[in-house]
Copies of this chain bind each other. A is one copy, B any other.
């Protein structure tokens, strides 16, 4: 019951997290690892901490050649946007399953790509072939899919916070999502705004109402959201603070019951009315913690959702999707408990 996997973009943060998790996954052999910048180098030269797995892992980082993909069961594409879309077709044709962690196939409407990513989509016909990889929404479809578009980190936290309401068509309008993320969400690219001294001890909003994850969130929730992200001086973790009108006059019990019902069978979702909300309860695990609050006098609902952006927000979710696509138990190889401190 073992399958072989390749990781393209292994030196970025999501690629590295895939490497860490897959090297401990009981049903996976990592056969090939790729990275443009470090191609030809030994894995241990770049990542000396992999020493305990060195016999189970490829010795060398390779240059990915999309036309001659490796003979593996699944390829993880852990790349910046506007790269995967050139690779996917040739890989799928070989019968290899793809889990794409980039944004290239998340949006169903091709016209959104020029608006949000500055380029027309080169293979728009493939958009419909990708299954949006949020298991809590698309598990059944994922079982039969060979091409998964793994969601954005913010999108995961925001959609899961509101999905039970959206599913019941009880979403009020004018939803404000004030989102806060650790810095690893920005990846390992060399830019001034990711330098330690520019981030440490500071808090900054950015891309207010215009972030690239907005169309993804709106696509899945079927409504407009006001999404306002902020950069927080920490390496991991996302918290979405969601504010909406209690248009349908839910009581806390009703709301909690709706969420608990929707997420009843979900191994990685924990919905409660706890006031102990913090990214600390999820960082290091593949969980999404959701906390529900109703302010009757104010006629407001407040929902907090917290994830580890590199786990449930990226590589953990990618492995959850892989588990589903290959029929493994869904939690295999995924951490179920946060690391504190």
Contact = CB atoms under 8 A, between A and B. Distances in A.
A233 B230 contact: no
B243 A243 contact: yes
A270 interface: yes
A201 B272 CA distance: 23
Nearest to A181: B203
Interface stretch (A43-51, A126-134, A251-259): A43-51
Given A197-B341, A205-B277, A233-B234, 11 more contacts: A20-B339, A24-B337, A52-B285, A180-B232, A183-B196, A196-B198, A196-B200, A200-B341, A203-B279, A205-B239, A205-B278
State the 10 A-B residue pairs at the shortest beta-carbon distance, nearest first.
A197-B341, A204-B278, A178-B178, A52-B336, A202-B280, A49-B281, A49-B338, A190-B190, A235-B341, A183-B196
Contacts of A20: 337-340
For chain A, which range describes its interface: under 10, 10 to 19, 20 to 34, or 35 or more residues?
35 or more
Interface in A48-94: 48-53
Interface of A: 13, 16, 20, 23-24, 48-53, 174, 176, 178, 180, 182-184, 188, 190-192, 194-206, 208-209, 224, 226, 228, 230, 232-237, 239, 241, 243, 245, 267, 270, 272, 274-285, 287, 289, 293, 295, 298, 300, 302, 304, 336-341
Nearest to A243: B176
Contact of A287 (B49, B201, B228, B241): B49
A271 to B, nearest CB: 10
Contacts of A300: 209, 226
Nearest to A331: B52
A33 B49 CA distance: 33
A276 B48 contact: yes
B196 A233 contact: yes
Nearest to A302: B208
A118 to B, nearest CB: 18
A274 B204 CA distance: 12
Nearest to A278: B204
Given A23-B337, A228-B241, A341-B197, A192 B203 contact: no
Contacts of A205: 239, 241, 277-278, 304
A340 B49 CA distance: 10
Contact of A230 (B51, B206, B209, B241): B241
Nearest to A183: B196
